[in-house]
Structure 1
């Protein structure tokens, strides 16, 4: 992290990114000395409640992080920043979002974990908007003007007060990743699933687990290797955090993991932990051999926004691409039959090995829906089909030419196009996709 002392001493001239986390209560005016170069400004984790009216003097500023501060409204000065495209004000105390605070180039807006009950209709006039993160607020409705955001691909509205999903939302032509768990609109479906799975999920006493090394950590919790002592069985234990993440509630994620049941392309759940000394929620899961399995891709970058990042030299054999595509389609069809949308169907949430075996993980954005065949259910499922189409396209861009003839590629490209077409209900179901791939 860059230090305030370095900034004030003039030692940071020419830098493009500045990170300051040092208990700031006021915006350091020395930052304006960097106006000719600064593109990314990270002020997360301070005690700021305002920004200067002349922030637009930072004429190259594209990205601003102000999460975990003390703002009560989104500063209007942001709207005058001509190049600003990504804004993050997660975990503040924001209750007011003025229309004037929305910059013209807005592409990615993060307002997770605030106190917002209403959004301005002006938001729907930001045609470049691709990513909208609103989980953990007090929204009872969304502005209808968002129907105009034809480029909007990812929306997180979990843990709000929505009693219905508006029809225009389910008809957005580019929407691929939707999370809405923890709203009244989802509650009835969730309770139905919970009743079906609770009795079938074993309870595993905390005292029966010997924890080992940390295998990974994300926004929703920590995964540790463990030994289930009565069975002498190596397992993984995921300990959930209680805070709201950008996707929603970690406890909803845990419920979705349980409800998903068993499938060859899922990481199996062994049981729910009981008796944790701090009453922390946790699951015991199958242990994945991380020596042979690895993530298909990395999470989107600031530049890619909604697209995963692959290694520059990433190439996949034709049979591997087909096996991964079949596996993902199969497990997605399984989830939809159980009334679950994954909400985050991405390469970075897929583990794969050299043979093309794959496992879908991270249910942080999962939501429940009715299992009855309705227009709303079909739309929710077809939104996820577009995410599969994006993934299939990424794999086809990186498939090795050998083993995939022109006719096979043509048919796969046709499938990708069908999955990504703007008419949501005209997309195929995952059951149909699975049949076509087989």
Structure 2
């Protein structure tokens, strides 16, 4: 919740651990230092800031800084001197330079989406605790080889850059599970060809009557609607760039995926939107389907948040796991990596049926290319995380399932099982 500068100046926020100010700031309010003994999260997004003060480390408990939608041209070097700082978010600024000095030693989560960055310093590889790195929508032609040392890196977003190929060291990262790499020169032609060949219906906006909002993700807002009197769901993309990449990359992945019983189908793309926004039209899912989990929090970083009451029977677990593995198997056969294989992108029915959605982080690749095995191995680890989470919420144990999860999570990516093997094993267990 955003507070006001007047509240801060009046001393009404004494002891606050979190401060959010969005009020057209052009300079850093010195009154923030009055919270030095308590402040842990500082959100100065959506202002007109272009610098931070050199004495920012006076906020000695500061763990998280958000300064998205401001006017920074350089990531402030002073961030690297904040002793407890582990999370930095400077999305949608004008940043062209990332000094090595701006990287704090405890860095765990770095978001620099939608800027103008051409190079990342080699020193980023010294951030041994780095788990989440979001660099989509920049001007990167390469990534530092030092990132191969970031053995804890689990989520990487490098879509919509100028990368001619994927770095070879991706296959050496033992924990990388969620990768978005669409909209780069190495896969742009494939995306364009997918959209040209799709033959997808174009649905005029005036044929849609919007109802209540159903959900909101990184890339867009999903609403209930009617199309010529029939109930549907409509996803309208938020803008030209999301935290995961480009809307056209998501649409290219959706039309390439093909129909599958455990994937949400696409009826068509939106045309003639009043603001020119792209969108997708999908069937309205039965209300009996519910989200399996919520997205990661600031504290959990890369792990979904499950409700305390979530418990699964063994048949439910097997049906969900097999449905997701089977869908992933088809995606990879069609040259699509989902990139966000998470429980929060899965809805499930009490009988175990499930639907995988949200292709905002999906990327296209040539299934026969050598990189295909690496991309599948990365996504298999994401499935391993999911399977382990499901097993933790099921009281009944079936021999072999824990071993399957462990195999998917093993640290040598190319030694993990393939999705066809995983789906086959789960199908046998489901039929038993």
TMscore range, shorter length: over 0.9
Check if 1:300 corresponds to 2:296: yes
1:371 CA drift (Å): 1.9
TM-score normalised by L of structure 2: 0.96
Matched, 1:423 2:412: yes
C-alpha distance in structure 2 between counterparts of 1:13 and 1:278, whole Å: 43
2:262 maps to which residue? 265
- Alpha carbons 2:192, 2:252 under 8 Å: kept: no
Instruction: Trace 1:24-423 onto structure 2 (pairs within 5 A).
Output: 24-197=25-198, 199=199, 201-229=200-228, 232-289=229-286, 291-372=287-368, 374-401=369-396, 404=397, 408=398, 410-423=399-412
Name the TM-score, length of structure 1 as normaliser.
0.94
Return the alpha-carbon distance in structure 2 between the equivalents of residues 278 and 108 of structure 1.
Answer: 33
More deviation, 354-363/205-214: 205-214
The alpha carbon displacement at 1:69 in A equals 0.7
Match of 2:430 in 1: none
Q: Give the Cα–Cα distance (whole angstroms) in 2 for the partners of residues 277 and 90 of structure 1.
A: 26
Q: Deviations over 1:47-98 (max 9, x none)?
A: 1111111111111100111111111101111011110000000001100100
Kindly provide the CA deviation profile for residues 12-71 of structure 1, in whole angstroms up to 9, marking residues without a partner as x: 111111111111111111111111111111111111111111111111100111111111
Over 3 Å counting, the alpha-carbon distance change for 1:143 and 1:5 in structure 2 is: same
Structure 1 CA distance for aligned equivalents of residues 252 and 189 of structure 2:
14
RMSD: 1.4
Would the aligned equivalents of 1:190 and 1:369 in 2 still touch at CA under 8 Å? Answer: no
DSSP 3-state at the match of 1:74 = coil
Report if the CA contact (8 A) 2:213-2:222 is conserved: yes
Secondary structure of residue in 2 paired with 1:336? helix
- 1:380 Cα deviation from its structure 2 partner: 0.6
State the match for 2:422 in structure 1. 433
Q: CA deviation at 1:195?
A: 4.2
CA positional deviation for 1:267: 1.1
Counterpart-to-counterpart distance in 2, 1:222 and 1:313:
27
Separation in structure 2 between the aligned mates of residue 209 and residue 70 of structure 1, nearest angstrom: 38
Q: Distance in 2 between matches of 1:188 and 1:121?
A: 30
Aligned residues: 426
- Deviation of 1:293 after TM superposition, in Å, equals 0.9
The 1:12–1:278 alpha-carbon spacing in structure 2 relative to 1, beyond 3 Å, is closer
Closer/same/farther in 2, CA of residues 276 and 65 from structure 1, 3 Å limit: closer
- In the TM superposition, what is the alpha-carbon distance from 1:277 to its structure 2 partner? 4.4
Partner secondary structure for residue 191 of structure 2: helix
1:218 and 1:299 map into 2 onto residues whose CA distance is 9
Deviation track 1:388-413 (CA, whole Å, cap 9, x = no partner) reads: 00000111111123xx3xxx2x4111
Supply the distance in 1 between the matched residues of 2:85 and 2:375 (Cα, whole angstroms).
Answer: 32
Taking the aligned partners of 1:15 and 1:277, their CA distance within structure 2 comes to 42
Give the CA deviation at 1:120: 0.5
Q: State the alpha-carbon separation in 1 of the partners of residues 240 and 278 from structure 2.
A: 12
Does the 8 Å contact 1:253/1:364 carry over to 2? yes
Deviation for aligned residue 1:303: 0.8
- 3-state SS in 2 of match to 1:118: coil
Provide the secondary structure at the position in 1 that maps to 2:400: helix
CA–CA separation in structure 1 for the residues paired with 2:276 and 2:85: 43
Inter-partner Cα distance in structure 2 for 1:239 and 1:318:
37
Write the distance in 1 (CA, Å) between the matches of 2:240 and 2:3. Answer: 28
- Return 5+ residue gaps in structure 2 as ranges: 428-432
Separation in structure 1 between the aligned mates of residue 260 and residue 213 of structure 2, nearest angstrom: 25
Q: Distance in 1 between the 2:94 and 2:238 partners?
A: 21
Instruction: Name 2:21's counterpart in structure 1.
Output: 20
- Distance in 1 (CA, whole Å) between partners of 2:205 and 2:58 is 56
Shift of 1:284: 1.8
Q: CA deviation at 1:235?
A: 1.3
CA contact (8 A) 1:242 1:251 kept: no
